[in-house]
Amino acid sequence: MNDTAADEDDRRYRAPALEKGLDILELLAEAAEPMTFTAIVNRLGRSHGELFRMVQVLQFRGYLDQDAESDGYSLTDRLFSLGMKQPRTQNLVEAALPIMRQLSLEIGQSCHLALHTHGEMVVVARMESSEQLGFSVRVGYRKPLAQVASGAVLYAFQPEDVRRRWEALFSPALSDAELADFRAHADEVRQRHVELTPSQFVTGVTDISAPVMRGGSAAAALTVPYLKKIKASMTPRETAQAVRTAADRISDQLVEADSRLY
């Protein structure tokens, strides 16, 4: 196909109004703080007239919320809720929660379930520690795959073509050396079938993660942010074995759930 034909195909499949709405959603998804309408316009390089109605409609449909004090816009959880309504995601969470509850009781630590989204991992379910002292992350928490244990696990158990697609989504992009190190580390995780590494964000926490498998690849990562306690009931390595066993049980449940779905 020549360049002219390619350009024609690009134009044929473009929907300018839809693209503007998606640009707004993607911009706010990456924003740490609510953004004013003027800031949105400036960041996207559009005019006020082009985006005003888009923002109004997205707010009316419940995708955006406006802060009363700053007038800044931020995403609501509507997109997340829509994704969670997908049968495969519903089955995953429903299968995982009872096993996560049992795991939390067994190890005296919290745990959470994470999926891949656009080069990052996002937490979709969590179970609090059964003890009075614990550490947990909220649902919706996200970090780049290369920075967290669950991200390494999700990446490690993917075929090569999927890995390459995910790498193109990394933000910030990794240098050639960093990417080579991450690939090598992921291969080691794949051999061990569990990740156990100090948290890059919280002192005293060891992230322990294992893959939840579906169709030969990791559909999710089951992770325990292991909080170092005096007189802990289980060591990190004992906890790693428990996490791996729990992840395997969820994987088995998914096989049964998918067979009923299809």
- Confidence tier at 35 by pLDDT (50, 70, 90): very high
Convert the pLDDT of each residue in 61-117 to its tens digit. Answer: 888 988 888 889 998 877 766 666 665 666 888 899 999 999 999 999 999 999 998
Cis peptide leading into 198, omega within 30 of 0?
Answer: no
The CATH number assigned to the domain with range 82-261 reads 3.30.450.40
- Lookup result for tokens 């997205």: 58
Report how far residue 163's alpha carbon sits from residue 154's, in angstroms, rounded to the nearest whole number.
Answer: 10
**Domain ranges within the chain, ordered by starting residue:** 3-76, 82-261
- Confidence tier at 179 by pLDDT (50, 70, 90): very high
- Confidence tier at 201 by pLDDT (50, 70, 90): very high
Q: What percent of the chain has pLDDT over 70?
A: 89
Q: What is the pLDDT of residue 77?
A: 72
Ramachandran angles phi, psi of 117, nearest 5°: -150, 115
Question: H/E element holding 206?
Answer: strand 205-214
Report how far residue 194's alpha carbon sits from residue 199's, in angstroms, rounded to the nearest whole number.
Answer: 15
Q: What is the pLDDT of residue 75?
A: 83
Query: What distance, in Å, lies between the first and last C-alpha atoms of the chain?
Result: 38
Of residues 93 and 241, the one with the higher pLDDT is 241
* Collapsed DSSP state (helix, strand, coil) of residue 169: coil
| Fold topology of 3-76 | Arc Repressor Mutant, subunit A (1.10.10)
Question: Residue 91 in contact with residue 261, Cβ under 8 Å?
Answer: yes
Instruction: Give the DSSP per-residue string, 66-114.
Output: E-TTT--EEE-SHHHHHHHTSHHHHHHHHHHHHHHHHHHHHHTS-EEEE
